[in-house]
Structure 1
Amino acid sequence: MRIVIAPDKFAGTLTAVEAAEAIADGWRSVDPDTHCTLVPLSDGGPGFVDVLHTALGGTLVATEATGPLGTPVQARFLLVGQTAYVESAQACGLHLLPAKDRNPETTTTYGVGELIGAAIDRGATTVVVGLGGSGTNDGGAGMLAALGATPAEPLRSGGGALTGLDRVDLAAARARVAGIRLIAATDVDNPLLGAHGASAVFGPQKGADAAQVQRLDAALAHFADLTDPETTLRATPGAGAAGGLGYGLLLLGGTVESGVRRVLGAVGLDTLVASADAVITGEGSFDSQSLRGKLPHGVAQTASRHGVPCVVLAGRVAVAEEEAAAAGVTAAHSLVESAGSVQAALEHSARELRRLAARVAADWPR
């Protein structure tokens, strides 16, 4: 039997590599003769650069960037020919913030702009920015400031500071990226503002309470009025990705592309699945967002095209069987239910994921 194991990370507990290894170990404990092909994946968030480096080769360039709190962090981007892959979470990721410091009114994307600038200085003519896992909600203002937009200080001071702006000059930032193809790699289709926008949907995940969500949405609306008076970019699907970082890239002439499609193409998943008997994917939470183009959905669609069953192993499952089946998912299993509690699933994620994979393998028809 041949299976392809292609999970995303289990946020906060397992990297995609660790998840793939745990699933493979669990399956082989029941059926040691199974040929497992491990394909750790990322949809643009944490792991984006490492996954693409494994698939594409290229050069990892280490550099220092400004973190979400304004202090230096170590980061890397990938250079493949004249294309650079930047993982925004390495400069503004939620994982860089202790719980007590999670305040999207003050965190900045300034370091993302520094990474883009460093990639251009290394000769990149195309810069693909993976969006996901951010701890920011500044509409990309910090990123713009790092590339030359003014006034720099309020732009780099977090989403809350945007309310004090009376003008924004993007000329220098646009000149800095002139002739560069900028791509926002994301599978989030949220606009910048409103009930489905960056602040309302993702702000609470980054530490914002209800009052802060309202203030942040108003701040982004003010920022958009200054930078997008024609109101065309703010409603673009993906503008709200990574706390509005997608919007900032759109202001520089960037385009939004599917991070999942780019990664799946890079790793050659279509070819791998074509010769497989089953595909196993997974993530921390398999929910309604998962079915809006996130990684498990992309993997399931690939499997469905080849008539190969696809199983999701997730920390929690909040999708009805009918919805999952319509998306190409044969079955979905919850780590929390298998482990017996949320605490057990979180504290012993690798162990419980191995056990869950073993149970699925034991029941698999042969």
Structure 2
Amino acid sequence: MVIAPDSFKGTIDAGPAAEALRDGWLNERTGDEVIVCPQADGGEGTLTAIGRCVPGAIVHVVEGVTGPDGTPRRGEWLELPGGVGVVEMAQMSGLPLMGELDPMGATSRGLGEVMAAALDSGIRRLIVGIGGSASTDAGLPVRDALGSRRPPVDGAVVLTDVTAPLLGPHGAAAVFAPQKGADAAQVALLEERLADAAALLGGDPGEPGTGAAGGVGFALHRWGAVLTGGAAHVAALTGLTDLVVEADLVITGEGRYDSQSLGGKVVGHVIELGRASGTPVAVVAGAAGAEPAGWYATLTDLAGSGEAAMADPARWLGVAGRGAARALAAD
């Protein structure tokens, strides 16, 4: 069987979550072969998930990177065999790195600085995950940090889990800026800034995915990168796509399962992989606003409350793993 969760955001990363589920399962069935393959969708945890599942991955450190609030931070990128570089925006420019929310001043520049370091190393292909950003700056600081650098010889791919356009009621400012602290007046100002950036860079601001990461998707697409679904790309890169075909069972999970889980998120993609290959998929979530098909469990129900589940997620993931073994092993 394969255990392939996303992170349970704010409580436990995908790697430790997968290990806790595995340990719970093996407490019930010690002789089973269990493969752990944590997942991500281009946001927080993408570097860790890929680094764990791809043999030969090397972490490179970039010191003094511009953080989202302007203060220096440590940046990282991952080198994979074959000259592939992976950068995760959340690692150096993510919303949790803000001391306090600053929707008008937060910057994406650090992403461009780490991308530049990866490109200068001579990589042949670049993968950039842009989930979890703190900024709504149209990615202009990213382009500024990149300078005259162009995508590497084998191209650049941008991973995102949203299909939002750059502008309009479903765009970067209207939908995502309030999550970064913007009030209604600031959303209107940010929309104007994004429109100015679109006029400067050219291209179609209505294209799906260009509103990702406060417009970084738009800036990198105009730079020459291809926008693609993060969950599917990470699954293929980590080998999960093939593992699901061979598995008797897959357990996936996330912090909250709801109607959005099937729209490009890790759990939804794993369910699609299972459906295509005929492999059953079980879901473990921190909480649920909808019921997935098949067996599932929530940590909130197991622990008795959301607070208790969040206080010790590894414990309750272990309990969920044991429950899954008891309920599903016979099948």
Q: Using structure 1 for the length normalisation, give the TM-score.
A: 0.83
- The answer to whether 1:346 aligns with 2:310 is yes
Look up the match of 1:196: 170
Q: Using structure 2 for the length normalisation, give the TM-score.
A: 0.91
> CA deviation digits over 1:165-197, x for unaligned, max 9?
xxxxxxxxxx32166522211231111122221
Look up the match of 2:191: 217
**What is the CA-CA distance between 1:107 and the residue it aligns to?**
0.7
Match of 1:246 among 202, 213, 217: 217
Kindly tell me: are residues 288 and 95 of structure 1, through their superposed partners in 2, closer, same or farther at Cα, counting changes over 3 Å? same
Look up the match of 1:85: 86
Kindly tell me: are residues 178 and 15 of structure 1, through their superposed partners in 2, closer, same or farther at Cα, counting changes over 3 Å? closer
- The answer to whether 1:74 aligns with 2:74 is yes
CA distance in 2, matches of 1:13, 1:299: 21
Match of 1:333 among 290, 297, 301: 297
Preserved contact between residue 86 and residue 130 of structure 1 (Cα < 8 Å)? yes
**What is the CA-CA distance between 1:209 and the residue it aligns to?**
3.3
Look up the match of 2:325: 361
Equivalent pairs: percent with the same residue?
Answer: 41
CA distance in 2, matches of 1:312, 1:206: 29
Look up the match of 2:115: 116
Preserved contact between residue 42 and residue 159 of structure 2 (Cα < 8 Å)? yes
SS in 1 for 2:60: strand
Match of 2:182 among 208, 227, 238: 208
**What is the CA-CA distance between 1:36 and the residue it aligns to?**
1.4
SS in 2 for 1:308: coil
Preserved contact between residue 56 and residue 266 of structure 1 (Cα < 8 Å)? no
Look up the match of 2:237: 266
Aligned positions of 1:1-366 closer than 5 A: 3-54=1-52, 55-64=54-63, 65-80=65-80, 81-98=82-99, 101-148=100-147, 175-177=148-150, 181-228=155-202, 232-319=203-290, 321=291, 324-325=292-293, 330-364=294-328, 366=330
Kindly tell me: are residues 313 and 210 of structure 1, through their superposed partners in 2, closer, same or farther at Cα, counting changes over 3 Å? farther
Aligned length: 326
Preserved contact between residue 138 and residue 244 of structure 1 (Cα < 8 Å)? yes
CA distance in 2, matches of 1:277, 1:179: 39
Preserved contact between residue 190 and residue 198 of structure 1 (Cα < 8 Å)? yes
Letter in 1 for 2:60: V
**What is the CA-CA distance between 1:9 and the residue it aligns to?**
0.8
CA distance in 1, matches of 2:258, 2:324: 20
CA distance in 1, matches of 2:134, 2:74: 16
Letter in 1 for 2:69: L
- Is the deviation greater in 280-289 or in 209-218? 209-218
Preserved contact between residue 317 and residue 332 of structure 1 (Cα < 8 Å)? no
Preserved contact between residue 201 and residue 219 of structure 2 (Cα < 8 Å)? no
SS in 1 for 2:301: helix
Preserved contact between residue 233 and residue 251 of structure 1 (Cα < 8 Å)? no
CA distance in 1, matches of 2:162, 2:218: 12
Kindly tell me: are residues 29 and 145 of structure 1, through their superposed partners in 2, closer, same or farther at Cα, counting changes over 3 Å? same
CA distance in 1, matches of 2:180, 2:317: 26
Kindly tell me: are residues 344 and 203 of structure 1, through their superposed partners in 2, closer, same or farther at Cα, counting changes over 3 Å? farther
> CA deviation digits over 1:281-328, x for unaligned, max 9?
011122232211111111111111221111111122223x4xx44xxx
Kindly tell me: are residues 272 and 256 of structure 1, through their superposed partners in 2, closer, same or farther at Cα, counting changes over 3 Å? same
Kindly tell me: are residues 126 and 270 of structure 1, through their superposed partners in 2, closer, same or farther at Cα, counting changes over 3 Å? closer
Kindly tell me: are residues 56 and 220 of structure 1, through their superposed partners in 2, closer, same or farther at Cα, counting changes over 3 Å? farther
SS in 1 for 2:156: strand
Q: Unpaired segments of 5 or more residues in structure 2?
A: none
CA distance in 1, matches of 2:307, 2:182: 24
Letter in 1 for 2:139: G
**What is the CA-CA distance between 1:247 and the residue it aligns to?**
0.9
Preserved contact between residue 75 and residue 90 of structure 1 (Cα < 8 Å)? yes
SS in 1 for 2:268: helix
CA distance in 1, matches of 2:186, 2:24: 43
CA distance in 2, matches of 1:271, 1:227: 39
SS in 2 for 1:176: coil
Q: Unpaired segments of 5 or more residues in structure 1?
A: 149-174
CA distance in 1, matches of 2:259, 2:197: 30
